[in-house]
Amino acid sequence: MTAHEEEIQSAGALRRGLGLNRRQFLAATTGLTAAATVAGMGPLSSAAEAAAKGRGGTLVPPSKRGIILYTVRDAISRDPRSTTLPSGFRAVFEELSRIGFSQVEFAGYGQHANSEGGANLETVEGARLLRGWLDDNGLEAEGNHGFIPGSWPLSAADLDRFKLHLEIANILGFGHVGTGNDPTGSAYKADWDVAADKWNSLGEIASEAGLKLYTHNHDVAYSFLLDSGPLDAQGRPTRSSGIRRLEYFLQITNPEHVWLEMDIFWAHVAQFKYRNYTAPDGSAQTNVFNPLGVVQKQTKRFPLFHAKDGRSNPATGNGYDMVPFGTGDIDYATFFSQMGAKGYHNPMYEQDNAPGGTANPNQSLEFSEVSYDNMAALRAPKH
């Protein structure tokens, strides 16, 4: 354990000993009123002072530390009548606030039917209820993996539902609205052209509502686009010019209306999996994907990130095993320190495999606390 990690651990122990949540602790260790705030406790420990003084150098400031609620979906969806653990949106918001998170990203608006407000909060009334709980706990909602119309051209029903989602987003105070899916699962240029037309149109509607429309990547979206001949029996290209699918999508969508949320884990999986392609002349080519480089080229097209960590495991198909943030091998210190536009981005901790099931029903919230601490401790690498 490094000296800095020991300071963070000691500060956490002091905070728990004082019975303070992270917000209270940070307030108590800031400025000349610290001693009065923790009256009767004597001078703060050197570890707490070090943690307080070091806060300015964090790569993810307190106001930007977020979590997508998909990570704790088991807690949101469990029956509050069958457990004493946090259950449903309201109780989970309280726990995430206690941990220290400032931001959340929704992954739909469903919870257990026995939770306060009922099962389905995908309504204007449900959004108002959620907004009250967010405000009560000092949480800011940044976006949602929600409904994106499947039809194109848009059906009247899909357009109405999309506009309802925009209304819900504004009630909840989002800056962004999006999806957890790629714009298309196709490998072919023609299908990405259609997807771009659709997203440009939806993005314009979202912009009129004061929201940024974003898509989210999985690994395959950063595989190579099939855009060159010879053609197959269906008239589709079989080779690539070397551009990756989502990079092409960025080129042909309107930067004023379409944004991306990079899932940094899946981008690194793409780096591991998609290195080779067949060029138009039939030659085998190698091009190693650089997630950080893609962001640096147009960093403000990426207002949100999924801060999902992975431990290297070349024996698996993906090259990484998902782990709590800060316990893997993805170099987040370099990524966040070099991506540009300091203070602009909103990283959301995500871990698809966080739920522990019946063996450890509180695991997703425990992992969330570990991940928050590691996100708070993240500093730029020393050179």
Alpha carbon separation from 380 to 153, 254, 331, 358 (Å, rounded): 46, 33, 10, 38
Q: What is the mean pLDDT of the segment spanning 325-343?
A: 97
Q: How far apart are CA 325 and CA 370, in angstroms?
A: 8
Amino acid 57: pLDDT: 81
For the ranges 38-42, 52-56, 312-316, which has the lowest average pLDDT? 38-42
Amino acid 21: pLDDT: 53
* Token couple for 307: 């801060």
How do strand 140-144 and strand 228-231 relate by DSSP bridges?
A: unpaired
Q: What is the mean pLDDT of the segment spanning 305-326?
A: 98
Q: What is the mean pLDDT of the segment spanning 257-268?
A: 98
Using an 8 Å Cβ cutoff, are 67 and 349 in contact?
yes
CATH of region 60-377: 3.20.20.150
3 falls in which pLDDT band (50, 70, 90)? very low
Q: What is the mean pLDDT of the segment spanning 268-288?
A: 98
Strands (E), 153-226: 176-178, 212-216
Question: H/E element holding 249?
Answer: helix 245-252
pLDDT tens per residue, range 345-378: 999 999 999 999 999 999 999 999 999 999 999 9
Amino acid 25: pLDDT: 54
Amino acid 43: pLDDT: 38
pTM reported for the whole predicted model: 0.87
Alpha carbon separation from 278 to 202, 203, 286, 322 (Å, rounded): 34, 33, 9, 30
7 falls in which pLDDT band (50, 70, 90)? very low
Q: pLDDT over 90 for what percent of the chain?
A: 84
Using an 8 Å Cβ cutoff, are 221 and 184 in contact?
no
Using an 8 Å Cβ cutoff, are 306 and 216 in contact?
yes
The residues pairing with 214 across neighbouring beta strands, listed in sequence order, are: 178, 259
Q: What is the mean pLDDT of the segment spanning 190-215?
A: 98
Amino acid 4: pLDDT: 42
326 CB burial (10 A radius; 0-12, 13-18, 19+): buried
Q: How far apart are CA 101 and CA 362, in angstroms?
A: 17
Amino acid 52: pLDDT: 40
Q: What is the mean pLDDT of the segment spanning 207-225?
A: 98
**367 Cβ contact list (under 8 Å, min separation 6):** 71, 324, 351, 354
Residue in 288, 330, 299, 185 with CA at minimum distance from that of residue 246: 185
Using an 8 Å Cβ cutoff, are 274 and 289 in contact?
yes
Amino acid 151: pLDDT: 86
For all residues of the chain together, what is the average pLDDT? 89
Map out the domains of the chain as residue ranges.
1-57, 60-377
Cα 49–Cα 50–Cα 51 angle in degrees, nearest 5: 90
Residue 17 pLDDT more than 70?
no
Q: What is the mean pLDDT of the segment spanning 103-112?
A: 98
